[in-house]
Amino acid sequence: MKLCDLAVGESGTVRTVEDNSPADPTARRLRDLGFVGGERVRLVARGPIGREPLLVQVGFTRFALRIAEAGRVRIDRTPS
Amino acid sequence: MSEAALSTRIALVGSPNCGKTALFNRLTGSRQKVANYAGVTVERKEGRFVAPSGRSFQVLDLPGAYSLEAASPDEAITRDICYGRFPGEARPDVLVCVADATNLRLHLRFVLEVRRLGQPMIVAVNMMDAARRRGITIDLQALEAELGVPVVQTIAVQRNGAAALIAKLDVAGRAPAPGSETPNDLHAEVRRLLAATVRMPSRTAALDDAIDRVVLHPIFGLLLLAVIMFAIFQAVFAWAAPIQELVSAGIGALGATVGDWLPDGPLRSLVIDGVFAGVGTVLEFLPQIIILFVFILLLEESGYLPRAAFLLDRLMSAAGLSGRSFIPLLSSFACAIPGIMAARSIQNPRDRLATILVAPLMTCSARLPVYTLLIGAFVPRREVAGWFNLQGLVLFALYVAGIASALLISWMMKRWRRGDGERSLLLELPSYRLPNLRDLAIGLWERAHIFLRRVTTVILALTVILWFLSSFPGAPAGATGAAIDYSFAGKIGHFIQPLFAPLGFTWEICIALLPGLAAREVAVSALGTVYALQAASDDVLTSQLSTIVASQWSVATGLSLLVWYIYAPMCLSTIAVIRRETHGWRTAGFATAYLFALAYLASLVTYQVAVLVFG
């Protein structure tokens, strides 16, 4: 499943970040910021309008991502 | 040998939010210089300090970067300086790589990237106090052994918090970092380092979670944002007023004293009508600018600004901007120049362009002198609905008009340039921090200094030039009109007035518009000078400018000029900074043209309607 399909409060483990285009700069930046295989992520909150942006915790850091960005991150949901 | 050649050049590098600038302030105190890198408007902050041994150091505060694979103009500068290939910048002798102790997983990756360069470096693990409070323990010695480069702890917000770093810098002979030992998979290496050297009881600070539950709440969060914005504008006007009156009275008294002391003649006229009436008027706005920046700096330091960007991102992206545009646009309320410069943190070129183009529509503090003068003269001080003051409401409406126009224009630009790639946000929401008074004071001093420098250079020079143009040549013998009618300025004003006649501008306004191009607030000082020279007696000082304006202009003219200032690109520095930021005249020319067209149209409509309504 994709990172953007998580419900608020749910966690998952990153499988991979997919390139939307050859040498996708957004995907590369996501990997630089810590979205790499095996990393735990949690959806902390969503923006007030249109369920966007997503507030995602990865490692010790929180990032605001739009759905299009979070859609690149493939994850496995952690059963609660 | 020169001093620069003797001192050691160090550069601070690190990811955004690692506390690098606070550490820079701790190291260099007030001995810093802000300029731009050659050819680009990325702020170049340099300072110096002397270590206990007497060795002197030059410190460069490089823009924050998540990676040396640059994704924005800021990061490209950091990359190029680290590689020693930025034209005009010498390669630093030592790289001080700053990492936040509470965010090591992200920041150690960057440390490893820097280590790969194989240059002399020191790792400064910053905010050790915050880490300790959260129960995080870091074995610095083990980390130093693993990394093969010196590791020190720093607490940038504490006196002597950089002592360990200075001691480490203050030794002769530096070995280059073992760059080639860095493995390819940086993330795996970070995990290994963390497992070996760091113990962390929880992944986040409980306090951050608690605050974010309220601040990012879909309803309370937006409400809180609205309250904060309202409080800022209230404070800028209500709190600044008494201080402004003090400044104004002080300048008035000083002017009177100096006036008594000078003999009658051109010199006295220059000092009283030119310098005091002109520059003095502008100086009164320093309190407002400082109060606005106190709030902006507080919000920035505390970590709230990215939260506001999070809340507004969807709304702003619908209007063709991005949540990241919030910070540049908020700064533009103080001045469009730092606002436009702050837009370089926006990676998407289209969002960045839209932000730059609409930033001049945010009501900058330089418009305040114009607005306050005109509102004071033409809007009655009346209670509305028992709660509000009509003058305050009009001022609020002018701000709203600017914001609404900006949203409309960026939305139109989005429609024209449809489907041009995806736009990303990728914004870090850092931990909340208690703002540090010292850093706040240094930031404020920087802003006040820039303003005062403008007042004492550009604005002073223009005021003097305008005084000259308005005073010479003098009226011929037997002339009946005011002397200024016969001066150069009077002739220029009369010459361009027909162009602005449909907007209801008088020739005095036309004179004031010209020097006002250098800085909007100069229009007020120019009007001050023009009317002071025009008046029969000498005792007309700027405090009465509002009365003169009210008696000489029609209400329609006043309103038309107010609307003109919402849009008109009456600021050459803004145009110049747009040109520099976008590398060419195309965007700057477009911005100028569209803003002038809007201003002319809006003023025309306002004047014609107001004439019908008020007669």
C-alpha neighbours within 13 Å on the C-beta side of residue A71: 8
The ipTM estimated for the assembled molecules is 0.94
Residue from B67, B105, B426 whose CB has the most chain A CBs within 10 Å, to mutate? B426
Domain count, chain B: 1
B595: its two tokens: 């803003």
Residue from B310, B326, B428 whose CB has the most chain A CBs within 10 Å, to mutate? B310
Give Cα B121 to chain centroid, integer Å: 32
CA distance A55 to chain B (A): 8
Sequence letter at residue B39: G
DSSP codes joined into one string, B435-484: PPHHHHHHHHHHHHHHHHHHIIIIIHHHHHHHHHHHHSSPPPTT--S-GG
Sites in chain B below the pLDDT cut of 70: 1-5, 34-42, 172-173, 203-204, 237, 277-278, 281-282, 285, 386-387, 418-422, 454-455, 458-459, 475, 477-483, 518-519, 533-544, 615
CATH code, B190: 3.40.50.300
Q: What is the mean pLDDT of residues A7-28?
A: 90
Sign of CA dihedral B231, B237, B238, B244: positive
Residues of chain A whose beta carbon is less than 8 angstroms from a beta carbon of chain B are: 20, 25-26, 28-30, 32-34, 36, 39, 44-45, 47-50, 52-53, 55, 57, 59-66, 68-69
More confident residue, B459 or A72: A72
Q: Between chains, do B314 and A69 touch, taking CB under 8 Å as contact?
A: no
More confident residue, A61 or B466: A61
Q: Between chains, do B315 and A63 touch, taking CB under 8 Å as contact?
A: no
Q: Between chains, do A57 and B311 touch, taking CB under 8 Å as contact?
A: no
Full-model pTM: 0.80
Q: Between chains, do B424 and A47 touch, taking CB under 8 Å as contact?
A: no
- pLDDT at B542 (0 to 100): 44
**For residue A64, is pLDDT > 90?**
yes
Q: Between chains, do A48 and B219 touch, taking CB under 8 Å as contact?
A: yes
CA distance A18 to chain B (A): 15
Residues of chain B whose beta carbon is less than 8 angstroms from a beta carbon of chain A are: 66-67, 69, 71, 102-106, 109, 187, 200, 203-204, 212, 216-219, 221-222, 306, 309-311, 313-315, 317, 323, 422-429
- pLDDT at B538 (0 to 100): 44
Domain count, chain A: 1
* Burial bucket for residue B350 (CB in 10 Å: 0-12, 13-18, 19+): middle
Domain residues for A60?
Answer: 3-77
- Within 10 angstroms of residue B165's Cβ, the number of other Cβ atoms is 26
Sheet of A73-77: strands edge to edge? A73-77, A11-17, A40-49, A52-58, A61-65, B427-428
- pLDDT at B193 (0 to 100): 92
Is the Cβ–Cβ distance between B559 and B375 less than 8 Å? no
CATH code, A68: 2.30.30.90
Residue B116, SS3 per DSSP: coil
Give A20's contacts in chain B (Cβ within 8 Å).
422
Which of A44, A62, A64 has its CB closest to that of B313? A64
- The tens digit of pLDDT for each residue in B254-291 reads 888 888 888 877 788 788 777 776 677 667 767 877 88
- pLDDT at B375 (0 to 100): 86
Residue B310 to residues B49, B112, B305, B357: CA-CA distances in angstroms?
A: 38, 30, 9, 22
Among chain A residues, CA nearest to B309: A64
Domain residues for B147?
Answer: 3-203
Q: Between chains, do A32 and B311 touch, taking CB under 8 Å as contact?
A: no
